[in-house]
Amino acid sequence: MDKNILRRGRLGDSINSKVIEYTTSLTFDGEIFESDILCSIAHTTMLIERNIISKEDGSKIIKELINIYKNGMETLDLDPSLDDIHMVIENELIKKIGEDVAGRMHTGRSRNDQVATDIRMALRDKVLLILKGLINLSKNILSIAEDHVETLFVGYTHLQHAQPTTYGHHLLSYVSALERDILRLLDAYKRINISPLGCGAMATTGFDIDRIRTMELLGFDKLIENSMDGVSTRDFIVEVMSILSIMGINLSKICEELIIFSTYEFRVLELSNTYTSTSSIMPQKKNPDVAEIARAKLSTLNGNLITVLTILKALPNTYNRDLQEITPHLWDSVYTSLDTIEMIEGMLLTLKVNKDRMKELSEKNYSTATELADTLVRECNIPFRRAHGIVGEVVRESIEKNKNMIDVIKDILKKYNLTLEKEAIRRALDPMENIKMRKIIGGPAPEEVIRAIESYNNRIKDYEDRVSIEIEKIKNIKNKLLNYN
């Protein structure tokens, strides 16, 4: 029988090529090709073990599935009227080993549980890659931070000079955020790696299949038991895309800072030539295009998330074809994330840090005023609010009279009947002294930043081990399934 194996029974010859093109998922099913083969091998292995199909037939099916995998998706007849990759593979099997044998593979399953299983398998691979990327990025930022534990810099609030810090401390703020992204993905992984296989179309099957067996063969940690939820839910996708959106916020902050800090006005960072472009008219230009593109691409993660949420909102149980339209947005977010992490890592690793300019900024614009107020509290035993007012007055005078704080403070203190030793004032106004005093947990003191770097490194090593174990586990199950005999 040559006719379309999917449509021939119920729908006959009624084909309109525009409709077919409109509804096929073959254009993006390449992402689940490998998972689909593995899923079918596991399902067939289980069917043999449960005596639902004969060992002879099952072995032929599995061997041919392996051939199809080795030849690659490009060699298949990608006829869009077959709907999708599941039917394309079954069609190929039938062509190779005949319908009497190949037609038995789909016993006790549906494309609904099949596709849900495939997406979970393909996504877990990708999430592990993103995790690897975030872990490497964090490790690299930590090693750059190590070189800058004493590199004075100023911290900003409202993008106005706030207090002195170091560039090492500043870099740790990136790792602190990325660690949460790593933890979120590791946690989401538990809800990705659960098997819907055996849920069938929505009500399981009357065949005596073994869901636990296919779960184990495919390297899943658990079952998603309820068969209606199993084929219906895509919340694991929403979860991953939400995490990627949050990660995008964290990464876009890094991009934004690379952009503003390399302006002439800041002049504290210089991107390497590789990560910049120039102008077609202005010969002097060195533009931070890669960071700008990254900043923009990261916004598409939010758009993709909203698209998926909107597709899912108010869908009834269980499988609806709408679900098919989700995955292209998922894969787009996945690849954008992977590529952007790589670009950011490259920019940071090749960055030039202008330490002199950073130091200059740390001393400017009253960044040590808080410490001066704190010194008044300590030395003169006055309430902080009073000290805050007095130092505010010192700053105002210094600006109005165009004098240094040290030259106006004496008179103001006298007015309030207060005295401060010259040495105490000098120390309060020295950015490095400010830094050294801020040695409590999370602060910028070099000794604290060194401690923090070590503690991040230890924790990140632990995440790295967890990811490696998972990658190894998946590699082993793939090897086993693809070496069936």
Which residue among 4, 5, 6, 25 contacts ligand ARG (CB under 6 A)? 25
Binding-residue pattern over the window 428 to 447 for ligand ARG, x denoting contact by CB under 6 A: --------------------
Quote the least distance from Cβ 116 to ligand ARG, whole Å: 8
Which residue among 202, 323, 358, 391 contacts ligand ARG (CB under 6 A)? 323
Which residue among 34, 36, 84, 332 contacts ligand ARG (CB under 6 A)? 84
Cα separation, 370 vs 400, whole angstroms: 20
Q: How buried is 464 (Cβ within 10 angstroms: 0-12 exposed, 13-18 middle, 19+ buried)?
A: middle
- Footprint of ligand ARG on residues 367-396 (CB under 6 A)? none
**Catalytic site includes residue 272:** no
Quote the least distance from Cβ 323 to ligand ARG, whole Å: 5
Q: Which of 143, 272, 279, 455 is catalytic?
A: 279
Which residue among 153, 261, 319, 366 contacts ligand ARG (CB under 6 A)? 319
User: Is position 259 an interface residue for ligand ARG (rule: CB under 6 A)?
Assistant: no
Quote the least distance from Cβ 367 to ligand ARG, whole Å: 56
Q: How many residues bind ligand ARG (CB under 6 A)?
A: 10
Quote the least distance from Cβ 309 to ligand ARG, whole Å: 18
Output 258 or 323, the one with its CB closest to ligand ARG: 323
Output 111 or 126, the one with its CB closest to ligand ARG: 111
Structure tokens at 300: 């598409």
**Catalytic site includes residue 279:** yes
- Footprint of ligand ARG on residues 105-124 (CB under 6 A)? 111-112, 115
Q: What angle do CA 253, 254, 258 make, to 5 degrees?
A: 115
Quote the least distance from Cβ 319 to ligand ARG, whole Å: 5
Please list the active-site residues: 158, 279
Which residues of this chain interact with ligand ARG, rule CB under 6 A?
25, 83-84, 111-112, 115, 319, 321, 323-324
